[in-house]
A and B are shown apart, each in its own frame.
Chain A
């Protein structure tokens, strides 16, 4: 190290207890009593209706984009942001509403579309996008919550397999 070069000084400041002190050093088991935490969880459960309405709107957007892509494959690259954004949107909402399999599917759609080579979108790429959209639609129509059990695992395995084939 050159003489005039400052040495990298790492400082480690002690844990800051000011937040704990600020609220009067309470018994945290009382502050966050089980009934309080449960009441807060109820807020999440009750929000599910709104979240699902918004999810359906997002689903319509990706269904429309998918139909456009099928009609004119040249448009697919320009439509990728719709799949990515709405996929993320659906993932966030369905995940909060206990539609975990839909959330997984939407995440898979988002990741797949982010990884696509925009200069060379193949028929297989478009098929996989279509598969995702149809699966999300089917799962929501049939109101399949949670991870979908063995059927859900099979669907996800198939989606992942198709994804890895397409990526080569």
Chain B
């Protein structure tokens, strides 16, 4: 099998439920990711992001010790984290709007609701790779710009605004 170009992306997946963690790992592996680290708790994830950089993090919200939100807060705000701008996908069963808003305000990049399909996961990963958003650093918020726009079209697509008549 030809090696996927995703093989060099360093992914950290975090979930305290072993079955779900393994499932996410297997789905990512089937998509072509090869450098995948699994963390069984928020605390373990914090230790990892304090020691080594990652290119992408996929984290559950509800975990026994520290929540996914605690993890995002640590990554975005704590100087001990060595990859403060790493894209984060929150994978959760929390569907209510207030959860989504809270996650966005904490600095996640994407929100993926369980049950998820491989297509939905791919859509979010593609968004992160192809259309990264500007990163905001202020006293009250650190994370990707919360307002989405077409300001940064995929690299292989022309910027629709260019050449547009006024």
Contacts and interface: CB of A to CB of B under 8 A. Distances in A.
Contacts of B8: 22-23
A98 B115 contact: yes
Chief secondary structure at chain A's binding surface: helix
A40 B17 contact: no
A32 B122 contact: yes
A27 interface: yes
A93 B125 CA distance: 23
Interface of A: 8-17, 19-20, 22-28, 31-32, 36-44, 47, 50-51, 54, 88-89, 91-93, 95-98, 100, 103, 107
Contact of B30 (A27, A40, A100): A40
A38 to B, nearest CB: 8
Contacts of A19: 9, 55-56, 87, 128-129, 132
Interface residues of B, number: 49
Given A16-B85, A25-B155, A92-B20, A44 B118 contact: yes
16 contacts: A8-B139, A13-B137, A16-B85, A19-B132, A20-B155, A26-B5, A31-B32, A32-B31, A40-B27, A43-B26, A47-B26, A54-B19, A92-B114, A95-B114, A96-B23, A100-B115
A69 to B, nearest CB: 23
A100 B113 CA distance: 13
Nearest to A12: B134
A43 B93 contact: no
A102 B85 CA distance: 37
A93 B140 CA distance: 36
Interface string B109-137: 00000111111011001101111111111
Given A43-B27, A51-B19, 18 more contacts: A13-B136, A15-B131, A15-B133, A16-B132, A19-B129, A22-B55, A23-B129, A25-B155, A28-B156, A31-B5, A43-B23, A88-B93, A91-B114, A92-B93, A92-B114, A96-B20, A100-B115, A107-B95
Interface string B143-157: 001000000101110
Nearest to B55: A19
A41 B155 contact: no
B52 interface: no
Contacts of A32: 31, 122, 125-126
Contacts of A24: 5
